[in-house]
Amino acid sequence: MTTTPLTKEQFVRQYAENSGKTEAEALANHVALPCRCDAPQCRGWAMVLNLPSFIESHNELYGEPNQ
């Protein structure tokens, strides 16, 4: 099932609401990165722990090509 991608801002807002957090709280230790895993809940984005190793791993697996 294909879903319409969200903007980064929409994804962060939705992620925060679903987590019971404010957007600032959601972004305190995480970053929203492009994601091409095709999971319906992603809608084009993933929330990743803001550590270089996590970001690098995410980008290698699910990031945009040539990233």
Measure the CA angle with vertex 43, ends 2 and 54; round to 5°.
130
Q: Say how many residues make up the chain.
A: 67
Q: Give per-residue pLDDT as tens, 15-41.
A: 999 999 999 999 999 999 999 988 877
Q: Is residue 3 part of a domain?
A: no
Q: In which domain, by residue range, is 28 found?
A: 8-62
Report the pLDDT value the prediction gives residue 67, as an integer from 0 to 100: 46
Dmax over CA atoms of the chain, in Å, equals 34
Give the residue with greater pLDDT, 39 vs 52: 52
Q: Is residue 2 part of a domain?
A: no
Q: Is residue 21 part of a domain?
A: yes
Where does the chain have alpha helices with state H? Answer: 8-19, 23-26, 52-62
Residue 53: pLDDT above 80? Answer: yes
Q: Are 60 and 34 in contact (CB under 8 A)?
A: no
Report the pLDDT value the prediction gives residue 16, as an integer from 0 to 100: 97
Q: Is residue 26 part of a domain?
A: yes
Give the residue with greater pLDDT, 65 vs 25: 25
